[in-house]
Amino acid sequence: MLGLKSKDTTLLVVVAILTLLAPFILNPFPENSALAQFNAGYPDLMQRFVIYGIFAIGFNILFGLTGYLSFGHAAFLGVGSYAAVWMFKLLSYNVVPAIMLSVIVAGIFSVLIGYISLRRSGIYFSILTLAFAQMSFALAYSVLSNPKFNLTNGETGLQVYADDPQIFHRAGLPDLPHFFGLSMRSTYTLDVGGWSFDFNAGYYFCAAIMLVVFYLAIRIFNSPFGLMLRAVKSNQQRLNYTGLNTRPYTLAAFVISGMYAGLAGGLLAAMDPLAGAERMQWTASGEVVLMTILGGAGTLIGPVLGAGFIKYFENIFSKINDGVLHAWFAFLPDGLENALVAIIHPFVGKGWQLTLGLMFMAIVIFLPGGLVEGGKRLGALFRRRSSDETASGETKPAE
């Protein structure tokens, strides 16, 4: 189907089903229950799941498939956001031209950075990409916010104002990002008993794009071009000895990865028409590295799982405060309740990064292949148990 092997088709179908049913899957607990704290089925967070999934899928093509570790991919994320907001300001709030411009501008920007950075490999390549990202951040934060040619609006961030041209904007269209009149914030809420499920237009728009780029990533992984990138990762020096010039392949991988990042940046702006320099900081580049490693670098589904894992627990742990903890342990004696709250307090709320760091360390130490390796181990364990039960249930013939 669609030119894919049966295994890849199954994977694509599973991802499609999960994204379609996400409002149900991410809201397992009733709204009024104590465990509703762990629900994540609201539009803003679901959009971030798929947008950062796109970001991580693109990064995985460069890092997981080609073996080049970039610490500067946030530059393309930020450039994509700025390009989308400028399209909103100049033309209209329609997200289609904004996203197209985001991908094009990020692609051009990645050609310039990749052409220079790929002259080195290993840690030197990583440092070069980090330097370019920090230069981009500095330009967006200060230099390009000069009143004479204010392209980024500096610390405040680039946003749409009432006096902007918006040439093609007309009466009757939403004054927010929309898809040919359908507002990205349009949401239908389904109440079933104690549960509440939100079906958001912006989420499904982003999810549809994620499925398309996920399909493209599968095709890239299985193509002759993808095999060449695997060879580069395996032993680039040996390829060079054969007389093959690998630079066009690595540059193509870098540009494709940058365009994925620009697409993610454009979608972030489409969900919230604001672009700030903070999206270009090194921390954003480090986050996509963590997502890819955590899920499973070099695998197809791993980066999506890693992005969802980090964004989910970042949101959940940061919302837990002392009031929530006291409500959870209210059934205990006061002394024991206060002691437990004091122990857990440093790991939640403002300390959520500590918990996420510990979880990341545990996964890297015990599951070097990431969450995908964990899933494979569980599958092998269940298959072994099933085969043991089948063997024990067999009757031996009488002698």
Burial class, 293, CB count within 10 angstroms (exposed 0-12 / middle 13-18 / buried 19+): buried
Give CATH 1.10.3470 domain extents, the chain. 6-300
pLDDT tens digit sequence for 285-327: 999 999 999 999 999 999 999 999 999 988 888 888 888 888 8
Distance CA 395, CA 393 (A): 6
pLDDT tens digit sequence for 34-81: 788 888 888 999 999 999 999 999 999 999 999 999 999 999 999 999
pLDDT at 163: 86
Indicate whether 398 pLDDT > 60.
no
Burial class, 100, CB count within 10 angstroms (exposed 0-12 / middle 13-18 / buried 19+): middle
Q: Is the dihedral of CA 20, 24, 27, 32 positive or negative?
A: positive
Instruction: Spell out where 100-229 has E strands.
Output: 158-159, 178-179, 182-183, 187-192, 195-200
The residues, ordered by sequence, that sit 6+ positions from 82 with a Cβ below 8 Å of its Cβ are: 140, 151, 152, 158, 265, 275
CATH class, domain 6-300, is mainly alpha
Distance CA 142, CA 136 (A): 10
- Confidence grade of residue 397 (pLDDT, cut at 50, 70, 90): low
Is this prediction's pTM over 0.95?
A: no
Indicate whether 396 pLDDT > 60.
no
Distance CA 159, CA 85 (A): 6
Name the residue with tokens 């996509």: 288
Number of alpha helices (DSSP H) and beta strands (DSSP E) in the chain: 15, 6
Distance CA 322, CA 137 (A): 36
